[in-house]
Amino acid sequence: MFDRILIPTDGSAAVRPAVETAINLADIHNAVLHVLYIVNQPAAVSGTGEGVPGLDNLLNALEKTGHETTTVVADQAADRGIDARTAVRRGNPHDDILAYATEHDIDLIVMGTHGRTGVRRALLGSVTENVVRHAENPVLTVRREPET
């Protein structure tokens, strides 16, 4: 049923339950697990051709974090005998998640939710919500554990 599962991650604790769920589903369905990290690159600077002082270093550091984060998840999957593929991209998170899903013929997207509400959600938006609204394939959202 699910041959290719995508787990976008930002490496945060809020995403850990979604990562565990994606790994479990990949194991059950003998699926390939795609692990994706998006470096949020503001549209105003993407494609400008000129480096913005300090921004290039920040984006490079975030990209390095992305490689480390996706490798950790891929290693967890490999420990369970799951074929995992990693990718790090720069751009708009929800757009690039959807583009990746299309490019790789993903059957299921598993995403964590940060649980923001009210003003914080309105100001910060929700990548997961945007993916759910615009995805052409199923999206499973996994809520993080409540903090005690």
**pLDDT higher than threshold 50 for residue 123:** no
pLDDT at 41: 83
Q: What is the pLDDT of residues 64-104, one digit of tens each?
A: 999 999 999 999 999 999 999 999 999 999 999 999 999 99
pLDDT at 3: 97
Q: What is the pLDDT of residues 17-69, one digit of tens each?
A: 999 999 999 999 999 999 999 999 876 555 554 566 678 888 899 999 999 99
* Beta strand spans in the chain (E): 4-8, 32-40, 84-91, 108-113, 139-143
Q: Are strands 108-113 and 84-91 parallel, antiparallel or unpaired?
A: unpaired
Cβ density class 98-124: b for 16+ within 10 Å, e for less: bebbeeeebbbbbbbbbeeeeeeeeee
Q: Which fold has domain 4-143?
A: Rossmann fold (3.40.50)
Q: Domain spans of the chain? A: 4-143
Ramachandran class of 81: left when φ > 0, alpha when ψ lies in -120 to 50, beta otherwise: left
Q: Are 36 and 7 in contact (CB under 8 A)?
A: yes
147/113: higher pLDDT: 113
**pLDDT higher than threshold 50 for residue 124:** no
